A and B are shown apart, each in its own frame.
Chain A
């Protein structure tokens, strides 16, 4: 068990964040909390992608001095994906918040139970 934990601790942490995010989205009634849940889910997905590309004792894929050798560098492709995904996440979060502002102006509440069309 401990061996499994120490071997997969990054995956467990990333999916822990993802499940916390899904749980918040499913259970909470306040729209702001749901948006926070979406943000946590986003962070978890980014962390998972990064940890998939990790190599044991690896360094960043940057040749910071001319005499550096190309050995034991982590996979650059997931890092490049996550780099843009973070900024997209911020923009999507801002878009969701603007929709929340409009909903509050229209219904006068952020409680999803009181907004009739948004119940599940």
Chain B
């Protein structure tokens, strides 16, 4: 009965959305603002990756809100899973096989390097702070699964996370100080297509990379539970 009601409901919603979607053409340019960003983004912001220019320059304040949402989700997860008493039964953890433990020790710094590369080059190539942070967090997943017993330093992740957020807000306030509005790109733009270009965008993206990486690592640590 419940399944029948659900299917009927979905059919009604599908009919409505289908009728609306038929009026939205596929594969045609729809917004003027996107064309404006593509035409003027490189000279206005200095970042050749227009998506990065939109994320950190045109909509930088929005991104500050998004990383706040991420922070609140991480804090909420920590407070939901927080338990003051240690688990009474100490389960003996079986050591992983030699191949697994050696492999994860070997791969861990390489994955960190890849993540750092992705967020340092966020304004030049596909990638950026969010993606690089996710790659770094995946390195911590590998360590937790492959080498049981090794834990991430919780105070360390909290310090890195807070520093990342602080750097973002400090850059925004410096823009307010030097030019009159929040998150102004006050540093020199440099030559496009080089690593040190685009003013404050690489600095903020590195900060976001560290913040997202440490936040997701803390989330994984909380979900795996106490040793």
Contact = CB atoms under 8 A, between A and B. Distances in A.
A76 interface: yes
A51 B222 contact: no
A98 B39 contact: no
Contacts of B215: 91
B9 interface: yes
B38 A15 contact: no
A53 B10 contact: no
Contacts of B124: 64
Nearest to B193: A66
Nearest to B29: A55
Contacts of B63: 84
Contacts, number: 142
Contact of A87 (B18, B125, B212): B212
B92 interface: no
B192 A8 contact: no
Interface in B47-67: 48-51, 53-55, 59, 62-63, 66
Given A22-B10, A64-B48, A87-B130, A95 B27 contact: no
A8 B22 CA distance: 8
A119 B213 CA distance: 37
A88 B223 CA distance: 17
Interface string B200-215: 0000000000001001
Contacts of A36: none
Contact of B134 (A66, A90, A97, A102): A90
19 contacts: A19-B14, A53-B30, A62-B126, A63-B193, A65-B193, A73-B50, A76-B54, A80-B54, A80-B55, A84-B55, A87-B66, A88-B66, A88-B73, A90-B216, A94-B219, A98-B77, A98-B80, A101-B223, A102-B81
Given A79-B51, A97-B223, 14 more contacts: A19-B14, A23-B6, A54-B26, A55-B27, A61-B38, A61-B50, A73-B50, A76-B53, A80-B54, A80-B55, A83-B51, A87-B70, A91-B69, A91-B74
